[in-house]
Structure 1
Amino acid sequence: MTVTDRHRATAWQVQSVLLSYPDELLLERVPLLRAATGTLPASLAGPLATFLGHVTATPLAGLAADYVATFDHRKRFSPYLTYFAYGDTRKRGMALLRFKHAYRAAGLRLDDSELPDHLAVVLEFAAAGNAETGVRLLTEHRAGLELMRLGLHETGSPWAAVLDSVSATLPPLNGRDHDAVARLAAEGPPEEEVGLAPFAPPEYMPDPEGARR
């Protein structure tokens, strides 16, 4: 089955829900998420179906604890896309503003409690009729996404399947992408540049330890 724009929008919406903090609402949505997944091509649906099976087989408390241990306590799995490119440096604030400007241009204003580069937020934005801009934001941070995906597989995390599905909605990795992933894996995100004034107001500087809930 050919992947269409409608397939990608549906997949992004499902992925967004599955990459948010798991709660009772997630369990209530499982039948709807399964139905939506069933409309997708195998490359997008297979990984999502695998993860939904894990959700139904795992007590909610265990699922939530695993989410926190994975995304809150391990920076290598940060769901905030700008972290991989900018680390905790001041330049990251400017990168966050680029996300906010992209959302505002599309008529979307986030709650102040939401950081605009959270993967679940970006996927939800892309699903809501903003595919072109959403793909641009995702591909600009493709190296970080791929490093996260590979790391989740390496540790046996069930969320690796969701990242597989995200990757399947994007253009194939090229040589430059592979080089960027290798470089990021070897060097890690940049460290703070001492002595530079902030590039953005402090409110746009994120707490990398927290994940979207």
Structure 2
Amino acid sequence: MSLFADMLDYPQANLRDRVQEAEALAGAANAQAGQFVSEFRAFVEETPLGSLQEIYTGTFDLDAACHPYVGYHMFGETYKRSPFLVGLKERYRAHNFAAPANELPDHLAVVLRFLAVCDDEELSRELIDLGLRTCLEKMTGDVDPDALTEEGQEQPEINLGGLRVYKQVLRALQLVLQVQPQSVEALP
């Protein structure tokens, strides 16, 4: 899970190494997932870090369909999201997980990092089945490229390419989550 967290977090200098590791592990769990991560690896290898960071921001921060917040996809911007956030914080504390102070507890990368270290299989399954799957289904839905732009404006090619490869990572995560290992911690 921590490898997927690294791929779905703001790109850092070590991303290339983490993606290579994820490619091998995802491929072992599911061949199609490995192919999706392979496409992402190729994209990461040919794209400078600064451009990856811009693409990440355009994909996840500016497109509501791809906001990387589990609670947002479950509840939208309603009051129901607040108790969910508080509940996540309480679960994190109960399991001695220190979530980053600069990020909401329902950020996809934070949830994945928690799942990577959580030793409570029932809680892990609950987070996956009740939150993560819903979030991923909404984030990987088909998007009409024309809907991403205001009328008459042209969408830069690289943004659509970035959206496509990040959706491949999300689809790979969906496929890997379908595997029912003895422990969620064993997932990449």
Shorter chain as normaliser: what TM range? Answer: 0.7 to 0.9
Normalized per residue, the structure richer in helix is: 2
Amino acid at match of 2:169: V
Q: Distance in 2 between matches of 1:14 and 1:167?
A: 14
Amino acid at match of 2:135: G
Q: How many residues align?
A: 161
Equivalence for 2:34: 45
Equivalence for 1:161: 168
- Indicate how the Cα distance of structure 1 residues 152 and 23 shifts in structure 2: closer, same or farther if over 3 A, else same: farther
Query: CA-to-partner distance for each residue in 1:62-96, whole Å, 9 max, x for gaps?
Result: 21111101111111111011012222222211110
- Indicate how the Cα distance of structure 1 residues 152 and 118 shifts in structure 2: closer, same or farther if over 3 A, else same: farther
- Indicate how the Cα distance of structure 1 residues 72 and 98 shifts in structure 2: closer, same or farther if over 3 A, else same: same
The question of whether the paired residues in 1 share the 8 Å contact of 2:24 and 2:34 is answered with no
Query: CA-to-partner distance for each residue in 1:19-38, whole Å, 9 max, x for gaps?
Result: 01112232454554455456
Alignment of 1:47-196 (within 5 A): 47-130=36-119, 131-141=121-131, 142-151=133-142, 157-171=164-178
Q: Which runs of 5+ in 2 are unaligned?
A: 146-159, 180-188
Task: Report sequence identity in percent.
Answer: 32
The question of whether the paired residues in 1 share the 8 Å contact of 2:6 and 2:18 is answered with no
What is the TM-score of this pair, normalised by structure 2? 0.73
Describe the SS at the equivalent of 1:121.
helix
Equivalence for 1:199: none
Describe the SS at the equivalent of 1:170.
helix
Q: Distance in 1 between matches of 2:118 and 2:143?
A: 29
* 6, 9, 15: which one aligns with 1:26: 15
Query: CA-to-partner distance for each residue in 1:120-172, whole Å, 9 max, x for gaps?
Result: 11111112244542332132122332010124697552111111111113349
Computed over aligned residues only, the root mean square deviation of the Cα atoms, in angstroms, reads 2.6
Amino acid at match of 1:166: L
What is the TM-score of this pair, normalised by structure 1? 0.65
Q: Which runs of 5+ in 1 are unaligned?
A: 1-11, 173-213
